[in-house]
Amino acid sequence: MTLRSASTDGTALGAGRITEAKCDLADFVALIERGTDLADYPHASHSDRGVLFYDSAAVTATTDEAREVLADELADALLNGPGIVVFTGAFDERHGLAEATALFGRIIADQHDAGIANGDHFAKPGANDRVWNALQKFAERDPELYSRYYANDVLALVCQAWLGPWYQMTSSVNVVNPGGEAQNPHRDYHLGFMSTDTAEMFRAHVHRLSPALTLQGAVAHVDMPVESGPTMYLPYSQRYEAGYLAFNLPEFRRYFADNYVQLPLAAGDAVFFNPALFHAAGHNTSSDIKRMANLLQVSSAFGRAMDAVDRSAMLRWIYPALQKLAGSGDQRAVANVIAASAEGYAFPSNLDLDQPITGLTGESQAQLLTRALADGFTAERFDVELSALDARHIP
C-alpha cells in the first residue's frame, strides 16, 4: 500500500490503470530497503531483520486506553511499517493450543480415510494437507474448545486494529509435509488471487484499497525451525503500489529470493501481515516436521451490498432473453447484462467442493453464464450447471 497522500499539498491520488510497464525494480528497492526504528513502535519488544515482535503477555495486560494506542501502532506497522508483526506466545494452554492441534490432526486423518486429497492455491494438489473452512469444522467438532481458542485477545486486538469491528473470521489449516516445496512470492486476497491481466483491469485506487479489506494471519501449531520452511517475507513490500502486478515478474522474484526474511517460530506464536506483503511458504527440508499452521484470513465487514439478491433466480429468468441478445451480435450489451446480474467473483466458496485445482479460483456465475451463451446451452442445461455451481458454494 502506497505512502502517497492527498492531504498535505492537495495533490490528488492517481486513479489510472497500473500496468506491468509501470513496474520498476529500482523504484521498488528504493521504497522498501529501510530499517525499522523501534522508537516508532514503543510497544514492540524487539525487531529482527525489520520484523516487529510483540510479547503477548504484555499486550493482553494493557488497559483500555493503552489498548487503543497499541492498536494505532499496529495499524501503522501494517500500513507504513514493515507490514508484518509477530506475537510471541499468543496461543497457549489457556486457548487449548495442543488440543486444537490434535483436533486438526483428527480432521486430516478423517479426510485421508475418506480419500480426500485437497487442492491448494499455490501448491500441487495432495502435496500438503489442508483443512478448508477449518473455522466451521472446528466449531462443529468441539464448540467449547473452539470458544477457548477464539477468545484469544491478541487475535481480537490486531483484527480490530486493521479492520475495525464486525470483521469476518475464516480459517484453513495447512500442513506442509517434509519435502514440501517452497512457493513463489505472491500477494494475497483480493487482487493477489487474480491473473496479471485481470488485476490490470482494476485501477490504482482499487490496488490501494484491496489490502485494507483483509488481514492475513498464521498461528504456529508446532515449533517451526527454519528447516521446516516457515513463511518467507519481504518487509515493507506492501508499500509498493504496483506490487499486485510486480510479484509475477522475474526480476522481482529474483530480488525476493535474494532478500527475503524467514523467521523460526515456536508453537503458539502468531504472525499477522498486510496481504499486500510479498510472501511465500518456504521449503520444508526437514525429515520429520509436519509444519502445521492455522491460516487466518480475516475480512472487512464492508465487502457486502445492501440488498440480499437471489442472483441464481435472476439468471434463470433472463437466460432466454440473453440468448436472443447474444444472437443479435451485440456482445458488449451481453457483457453489460452479465455484469449487472451475475456474481462475478468466485468467492466465498466451499473449497472442499470448489477446489482451486485448475487455477486460483473456481468458476464464477459470470464465467458460467458467458460459457453457456458461447456454447449454446439450452435453458435446461444452464439450469443444471448453475445448480451444481451453487451447490459448490454452500458451506
Encoded amino acid at 130, one letter? R
Three-state secondary structure along 242-263?
CHHHHCCCHHHHHHHHHHCEEC
Cα torsion angle, 40, 239, 272, 47, sign? negative
- Which helix (H) or strand (E) segment holds residue 64: the answer is helix 64-79
Q: Is 229 left (phi over 0), alpha (psi -120 to 50) or beta?
A: left
Alpha-carbon distance of 120 to 192, in angstroms, equals 15
pLDDT the model gives residue 349: 74
Alpha-carbon distance of 308 to 90, in angstroms, equals 38
User: How many C-beta atoms surround the C-beta of residue 383 within 10 A?
Assistant: 16
Domains of the chain: 20-299 (2.60.120.620), 311-391 (no CATH)
Alpha-carbon distance of 218 to 247, in angstroms, equals 21
pLDDT the model gives residue 120: 56
pLDDT the model gives residue 359: 62
pLDDT the model gives residue 6: 42
pLDDT the model gives residue 188: 92
Cis peptide before 143 (omega within 30 of 0): no
pLDDT the model gives residue 3: 38
Neighbouring C-alpha atoms within 13 Å toward the C-beta of 345: 11
pLDDT the model gives residue 2: 41
Q: What radius of gyration, in Å, describes the C-alpha atoms of the chain?
A: 22
Neighbouring C-alpha atoms within 13 Å toward the C-beta of 305: 6
Mean pLDDT by 10 residues, the chain (395 residues): 44 83 96 96 97 97 93 98 98 97 97 79 68 92 91 93 91 94 92 90 94 96 98 98 96 98 97 98 96 95 80 93 93 89 80 67 90 96 96 88
